[in-house]
Structure 1
Amino acid sequence: MKTILIVDDEPRTRQGIRKTLESWSCGRYRIETASSGVEALSWLQHNDANLLVTDIRMPEVGGLELVEKLNAMAHPPVVIVISGHPEFDYAQKALQLGVISYLLKPLDKLKLVQAVELAMKREEELNRIERMEKLFDPKLLETLQEDKTYGVQVQEALRFVDAHLSEQVSLRAVADQLHMNASYFSVLFKEQTGLTFSEYLSRRRVQRAKELLVNTRYSIAEIAEQVGYQTAKYFVKVFRSIEAVSPGQYRQSNLNPEETIQ
């Protein structure tokens, strides 16, 4: 269950926000409160929050200081800031810190709920992006980002490989497709991409396999076939050599918790 943490040193405001969000969420979210930035930081040392709703002006640790500290976390919550004063400098700093919404007191309940809905959508989008980033092979991504600097022949080779990943692709077959000498093509490919053709092909196949492992329920053998390996055993060997884990272990460690039953 996702958690919303409300931080405000004014008891009436804190409880009013809590009641409003509990009524809106109908049990979909866990709603927690803290009476100060210090209490919030202490709570967050042992708990995770998906959304932080915090007042700006509080003793000891103010709302923006709290947000700055949280931004150093590996997985900081998305943030909504509330304030009793329409101060431009506060609003500007909040935006610089990536705050989703800046709401003024007295809080309009409808605007609060709308801001929370927007923030939770943003939090889910950030989680999705983070999950996708985990899929990417850094070496392969670096190679693909240089696509515009490649010669026409190498660009065509990359497109050919992508279109035929499930088939038995070889350096010679690609060279023949490009009407090039295989040895010359091998040297040209390495010079421009920084990877041998064989290494690129393996990494591209494993990249595609990672996407299938996370986004589908195909078996390991089915995925091996879809990315061009004749046997699951050899596929597992190649996968492990690049990712340092087996395909099954990779799938298990990258499942979206919201899509599984614990």
Structure 2
Amino acid sequence: MNTKTILIVDDEPRTRQGLKKNLDTWANGNYQIITASNGEEAIQLMKENKVHILITDIRMPEITGLELLKIAKELNIFPVIIVISAYSEFEYAQEALRLGVINYLLKPISKKALIEAVEEAVKEVKKKQRVGLIEKVVDTKLVDANTQNPSNREPIREAIDYINNNLKNELTQKEVADHVHLNPSYLSSLFKEHVKLTFSEYVTRRRIQRAKELLMTTNLPINDIAEESGYKTAKYFIKIFRELEGVTPSAYRKNNNEKAF
């Protein structure tokens, strides 16, 4: 399910329903808007649902909004947070900011202020997911390959760019050597010296990284992902993927699937 969830927590039924009504209209079915009347209910909902944006009142009986944020943090639940309050005391705002709140809205909240705050939160969610995606697909050996000795490596930089732009194609060492006007065996030794990977190791790792990106951000069938990553058959692609990642492409997708917000 791709729908992202926004949780509204407020002990005042009128405020809670008013916020939900405004956000339902704005969301137009693109987001799931759920509500909780107290902190305990909110915690339960966050355990059961992946909450992307949390909008919570500060002053609530039993568990306050700030206590709710602390509990969420302890549970390793990190939604993008908007705090609402009828109180403008500075210490509340200060504490809220320390707990990672991106916006602090004072009651009564205008529809315009609410939507602006939520749209800003949506951007923050997208940013967090992009960072998460990069962390998941990053191959440290490829990162190292791109930060090795910057001197005397113009042909290698050109070779890497050519490989990265032609992953879908067959890509032979001779073809890349011709492109950078070097003898294939000289390119091979230069590549190994600067990139710390052989030519074929680099191509394989780069193709598998491309496959991981596609597995996590698209619904393309495995056959198509194999082709997009430069593999002629899905069977061979699955074999190489499993050797490098320890799981099949399908299992990787199931474990890591993160859709864009």
The reply to whether TM is greater than 0.5 is yes
Q: Deviations over 1:52-83 (max 9, x none)?
A: 22233456654334324434555521111123
Residue type matched to 2:13 in 1?
Q
User: C-alpha separation between the residues in 2 aligned to 1:246 and 1:164?
Assistant: 24
Decide which of 74, 80, 83 is 1:78's aligned counterpart.
Answer: 80
Provide closer, same or farther for how the CA distance between residues 96 and 192 of structure 1 changes in structure 2, counting only shifts above 3 A.
farther
- Secondary structure of the 1:79 match is strand
Residue type matched to 2:34 in 1?
I
User: C-alpha separation between the residues in 2 aligned to 1:216 and 1:257?
Assistant: 8
Decide which of 13, 16, 40 is 2:14's aligned counterpart.
Answer: 16
User: C-alpha separation between the residues in 2 aligned to 1:107 and 1:216?
Assistant: 38
Provide closer, same or farther for how the CA distance between residues 2 and 206 of structure 1 changes in structure 2, counting only shifts above 3 A.
closer
1:187 aligns with 2:185: no
User: C-alpha separation between the residues in 2 aligned to 1:191 and 1:69?
Assistant: 51
Residue type matched to 2:17 in 1?
K
User: C-alpha separation between the residues in 1 aligned to 2:259 and 2:168?
Assistant: 30
Q: Which residue of 2 aligns with 1:33?
A: 36
Decide which of 127, 134, 137 is 2:136's aligned counterpart.
Answer: 134
Shift of 1:202: 0.1
User: C-alpha separation between the residues in 2 aligned to 1:124 and 1:49?
Assistant: 14
Higher relative contact order (CA 8 A, sep 6+): 2
1:244 aligns with 2:242: no
Provide closer, same or farther for how the CA distance between residues 60 and 160 of structure 1 changes in structure 2, counting only shifts above 3 A.
same
Residue type matched to 1:122 in 2?
E
Shift of 1:141: 3.6
Shift of 1:17: 2.5
User: C-alpha separation between the residues in 2 aligned to 1:246 and 1:188?
Assistant: 33
Shift of 1:214: 4.3
Decide whether the 8 Å contact of 1:20 with 1:109 is kept in 2: no
Decide whether the 8 Å contact of 1:81 with 1:94 is kept in 2: yes
User: C-alpha separation between the residues in 2 aligned to 1:168 and 1:117?
Assistant: 44
Aligned-pair identity (%): 44
Q: Which residue of 1 aligns with 2:211?
A: 209
Q: Which moved more, 1:76-85 or 1:207-216?
A: 207-216
TM-score normalised by L of structure 1? 0.76
Residue type matched to 1:108 in 2?
S
Decide whether the 8 Å contact of 1:165 with 1:205 is kept in 2: yes
Structure 2 unmatched ranges of 5 or more: none
- For this pair of structures, how many residues does the alignment match? 253
Decide whether the 8 Å contact of 1:3 with 1:32 is kept in 2: no
Residue type matched to 2:88 in 1?
P
User: C-alpha separation between the residues in 1 aligned to 2:92 and 2:148?
Assistant: 43
Q: CA RMSD in A?
A: 3.4
